[in-house]
């Protein structure tokens, strides 16, 4: 069996779906952040796969490079917010982050 | 692609899928983080298959070396969390969202599966070229593209990372006891000023009422 572009794209779509389901179902903020990382990673895989099949420039790989940098910044700020919320609420349960609701 | 490439793809894809499921399904956050680590390593194997050597190395350095370690540190700081009892409303929302996402993902995957494009052969390095071999996805070729075509976004990324570091420190640091005492004093001063103003307004109202009575 020859590996086609479609295989990479389907794998990337499935991993994105798993990440999205995790983000919707889990209520632990840390696990939700990990699911965001899963989704970002799957998009990276898709970009790199497209770039391999159109190798006249490095646009896809450079885009994946920037996505990795932005994911690092996002993880840093997100975890800082988690720590701040834990200090305030003594929990990492996202349903308990409801100060603005009342 | 040779048979070895296909076997590597099958292995990495299987590990990536299983570890992604593990990240979502495993109960304790530290196990989910370890599963995410396995996922990242298998994705870097897929990057190698796609001729993105530099990105595979960066994936390991940045994700496995920095982001997962950051997650593990935060989990260590926070400690084991108490699981909350599931509610009926939560269960209904979860079932609906899982069903919708499964259908959407299945549609997307099945429509993307038959996509076919001719694989362009990149050509191996010449025998005498060695380190100067400027291949697709290698450090030299990526640096050429990064610093010639995409210099402005690259510099903007550095600004973004600086802002993110400053923001993360500002958010996570919390307040020292001195700052807390200052804030407390400020709140008390504001409360007393407010009380004073209310008293003054009441006195004025009483005065107006008294004058009104005379008039």
The two counts, helices (H) then strands (E), for chain A are 3, 0
**Mean pLDDT, to the nearest integer, of B145-174?**
92
- Are A8 and B46 a contacting pair at CB < 8 A? yes
In chain A, the percentage of residues whose pLDDT exceeds 90 is 69
ipTM above 0.90, yes or no: yes
Q: Tokens 């640091």 — which residue?
A: B173
Distance (Å, rounded) from C-alpha B29 to C-alpha B106? 27
Does any CB of chain B come closer than 8 Å to the CB of residue A49? yes
Picking from B147, B40, B52, B14, the residue whose alpha carbon sits closest to that of residue A75 is: B40
Chain A neighbors of B23, CB-CB under 8 A: 18, 22, 31, 34-35, 38
Does any CB of chain B come closer than 8 Å to the CB of residue A100? no
Confidence of residue B132 (pLDDT cuts 50, 70, 90): low
Residue A93 and residue A29 in contact, taking contact as beta carbons nearer than 8 Å: yes
Query: What's the pTM?
Result: 0.83
| Spatial CB neighbours of B102, under 8 Å, sequence gap ≥ 6 | A17, A21
Give the pLDDT score at B4: 79
Facing residue for A20 by CB, picked from B101, B115, B141: B101
- Are B67 and A75 a contacting pair at CB < 8 A? yes
Give the pLDDT score at A69: 94
| Spatial CB neighbours of B5, under 8 Å, sequence gap ≥ 6 | A3, B49
Let me know how long chain B is.
215
Does any CB of chain B come closer than 8 Å to the CB of residue A10? yes
Chain B neighbors of A20, CB-CB under 8 A: 101, 105
Chain A neighbors of B117, CB-CB under 8 A: 4-5, 53-54
Distance (Å, rounded) from C-alpha B40 to C-alpha A37? 10
Give the pLDDT score at B85: 64
- Are A34 and B36 a contacting pair at CB < 8 A? yes
């Amino acid at each position: 069996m020859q590996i086609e572009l479609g295989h990479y794209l389907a794998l990337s779509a499935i991993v994105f779906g798993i990440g999205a389901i995790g983000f919707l179902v889990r209520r632990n903020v840390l696990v939700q952040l990990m699911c965001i990382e899963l989704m970002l990673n799957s998009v990276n895989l898709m970009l790199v796969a497209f770039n391999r099949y159109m190798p006249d420039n490095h646009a896809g790989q450079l885009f994946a490079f920037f996505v990795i940098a932005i994911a690092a910044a996002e993880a840093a700020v997100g975890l800082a917010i988690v720590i701040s919320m834990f200090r305030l609420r003594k929990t990492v349960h996202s349903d308990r982050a409801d100060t603005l609701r009342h | 692609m040779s048979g070895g490439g296909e076997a590597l793809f099958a292995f990495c894809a299987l590990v990536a899928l299983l570890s992604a499921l593990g990240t979502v399904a495993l109960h304790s956050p530290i196990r989910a983080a370890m599963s995410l680590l396995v996922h990242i390593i298998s994705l870097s194997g897929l990057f190698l298959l796609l001729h993105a050597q530099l990105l595979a190395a960066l994936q390991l350095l940045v994700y496995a070396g920095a982001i997962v370690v950051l997650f593990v540190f935060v989990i260590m700081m926070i400690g084991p969390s108490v699981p909350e009892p599931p509610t009926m409303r939560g269960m209904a929302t979860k079932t609906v969202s899982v069903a919708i996402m499964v259908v959407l993902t299945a549609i997307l995957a099945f429509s993307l599966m038959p996509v076919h494009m001719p694989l362009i052969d990149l050509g191996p390095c010449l025998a005498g070229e060695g380190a100067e071999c400027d291949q697709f996805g290698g450090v030299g070729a990526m640096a050429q593209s990064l610093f010639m075509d995409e210099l402005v976004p690259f510099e903007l990324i550095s600004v973004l990372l600086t802002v993110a570091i400053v923001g993360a420190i500002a958010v996570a640091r919390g307040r020292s006891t001195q700052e807390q005492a200052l804030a407390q004093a400020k709140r008390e001063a504001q409360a007393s000023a407010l009380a004073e103003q209310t008293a003054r307004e009441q006195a004025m109202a009483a005065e107006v009422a008294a004058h009104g009575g005379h008039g």
